[in-house]
């Protein structure tokens, strides 16, 4: 499955930029660190990290590369 996600990572990033508002609303006012498993392109991890601590992980190396690029290398 990892190879498939590596192959579609670029398209995924292009077509799924915005985080779900429900995820952002859920994190409102919460403290601590969020762990985003299967973080993809970081569309949820990045905005959450601006409000609290966040760690993203994904089995696809290409998705992680894109997420780090989208996060400005953070």
Q: Interhelix angle for 2-15 vs 61-70, to 10°?
A: 30
Reported pTM: 0.86
Q: Is the pLDDT of residue 73 over 80?
A: no
* pLDDT the model gives residue 67: 97
Integer Cα distance of 64 and 25 in angstroms: 24
pLDDT band at 5 (very low <50, low <70, confident <90, very high): very high
CATH of the domain at 20: 3.40.50.150
**Domain boundaries, position 49:** 2-70
Q: Is the pLDDT of residue 70 over 90?
A: yes
Give the chain's domain count: 1
Q: Is the pLDDT of residue 1 over 80?
A: no
pLDDT in tens, 21-62: 998 898 888 888 999 999 999 999 999 998 888 999 999 999
């Amino acid at each position: 499955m990892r190879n498939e996600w590596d192959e579609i990572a670029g398209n995924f990033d292009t077509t799924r930029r915005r985080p779900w508002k429900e995820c952002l609303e859920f994190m409102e006012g919460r403290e601590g660190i969020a762990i985003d498993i299967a973080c993809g392109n970081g569309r949820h991890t990045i905005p959450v990290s601006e409000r609290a601590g966040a760690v993203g992980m994904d089995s696809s190396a290409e998705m992680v590369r894109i997420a780090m690029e989208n996060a400005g290398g953070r």
